[in-house]
Amino acid sequence: MAHRAVFLDRDGVIIADGASITDISHVRILPGVPEAIRTLNDAGFKVIVVTNQGAIARGKLTERGLGVLHEHLCAQLTSMAGAQLDGIYFCPHHPDADVSMLRKECDCRKPRPGMLLTAAKAHDIDATESYMVGDRLSDIYAGKTAGCKMNIQVLSGEHGAKPIVSASVSAAEITATKPDVVCADLTAAVKLILEEEMTMKALILSAGKGTRVSGITNDAIPKVMLPIAGKPVLQWHIEHLKKHGMKDILINLHFRPEVIQDHFGDGSRFGARIRYNFEPSLMGTAGALHGFKDAIDDTLVVFYGDIMNEIDLKKFVAYHKSKGSKATLVVQETNRPHDCDIIEVDQEMRVKAVHRTPGNAKYGKLGNSACYVIEPEVLKYLPAGPCDFIKDVFPKMLAAGEPVFGYKTDEFLEDMGTPERYAAVKARYENATGTAQTDKERPDQNA
C-alpha cells in the first residue's frame, strides 16, 4: 500500500533562513518544528525534506559537509521531540554554478518536481495523497507539478523573496502560482493537515433506553439525552467530534427516537451532518452497523453514547493508522477486572484475546473502555441480526488473524449508565463549567 507523505522545504520551514547555511552553528530550528514533525510521524506520514542547495554549486559547501549538517539536524529533532525524518533529498545544481560540473539545468532543482518524484518512488509514496509545505512559491509550484493534494505556503521564511526559476519555468509562471492555503508556520500547517485528514465518520450508539437510570429519565427520554451542565450527553459527544474535525455523524435510534431527532434535526444547527437509523428492536453495539453499511466506506470512530469521554481523537486515529489496524480499542488500567472486559495484549499492544465480563486479572489489567476506531473490513465479520463487538465481532477478527490493537490512555472516559455514575460525571462537568442543573433541564415526567 502506497504511503502518505508530507514534503518539507528546509530553510524557512524547519530551520531559520540564513544567507548561507554551511555549518552546524548556522542551524537554528524554528519554534514548534520538532513537535510538529513528531505529530506527523505519529499520524503515519512519511516526512521528506526536499531542499535546493545552491551553496554546493557555489563551492561554499561540500556534499559531505551537507551530510554532517543534516546528521546534526536529525539528531536535534530526535533529541527535542523524538521526531524523525524519513528522507532528505537535495539538489546541488545551479544554472550559474561556480563549480563547473554542477552548472546545469536539472529536473531536481525546485521549482522542478524531480526531488519529490524521486522520493515518492523510493519510499512508495502516493503524491496525490500527500502534501507539500514550503515558504516560497517555487516550493508550491514543485508540489503542484508533482501532483500533491494540498500545497501549503508558510510565512516563517522568505516567502516574499525573488522567485527561483529554471529554463523551463519562468518567473511569471512561479509568481502566478497560488498556494492552496497559507499558514503562519509548520505547526499551523500540520494542524491543518490533520484536520484535512479527519474527514471520517463517527457512530454514536444511542438506541438504549437506560433501564438503570430510569428513575432519573422517568422513561421520558433516552439515556443519551440526560442533561449535563446545561446540555444533553449526546450534544457533548457531537461537539467533541466536531472539535476533532468529524462532522459526519451516524446515530442509531430505538427508544423515544423523536426526542433525539427533534433536538438535533439534521445536525446543521450544531455544525454537523447527522444520519439516523431507527431499530425496531435493539441490534446491539455491533449490530448497529447493519443500518449504516452503505455509509461505512472509510475509517469510523465508534462512541458508546452513555460513556462521556475527553479522548484526543486525532491522536487516537493517528495511532490506529500507524499500526495498520483494522480495529483499535481504547483500553485503560482497571482495579476491578471482575466488572469489565479484559483486553489481553502483547508488547506491541496487539490484541491477543478478549475476555468478557467478568474479566480475570491473570490476563492483564487493561479493561475495554468502549471507544473504537474501525475500518470497513470489520463489516464482513458481522453476523446477521443483533450482535456485540466484544462477544461476536472482535473474537472473529482475532481468529482470522486481523490486526486488532489496544490504545492505552489515561484520558477521561466514564460510564454514566447508573444513577451514581451519572451523578459523578454530572458533578464533574458542572463544577468545571460553573453550571448547575435547573428544573427546566430535568426530564418531564409527563412527556
Residue owning grid cell 465481532: 393
CA 122 – CA 174 distance, rounded (Å): 27
Question: Can 388 be counted among the known catalytic residues?
Answer: no
Active-site choice (9, 139, 306, 392): 9
CA 57 – CA 18 distance, rounded (Å): 17
Question: Can 23 be counted among the known catalytic residues?
Answer: no
Contacts of 308 (CB under 8 A, 6+ apart): 228, 233, 236, 412, 413, 414, 416, 425, 429
Contacts of 407 (CB under 8 A, 6+ apart): 316, 319, 320, 328, 329, 330, 331, 349, 373
- Cα angle 195, 321, 361; round to 5: 120
The SS3 call for residue 414 is strand
Active-site choice (11, 17, 185, 392): 11
Separation in Å, CA 372 to CA 203, 242, 271, 384: 10, 17, 23, 21
CA 126 – CA 150 distance, rounded (Å): 13
Residues noted as catalytic: 9, 11
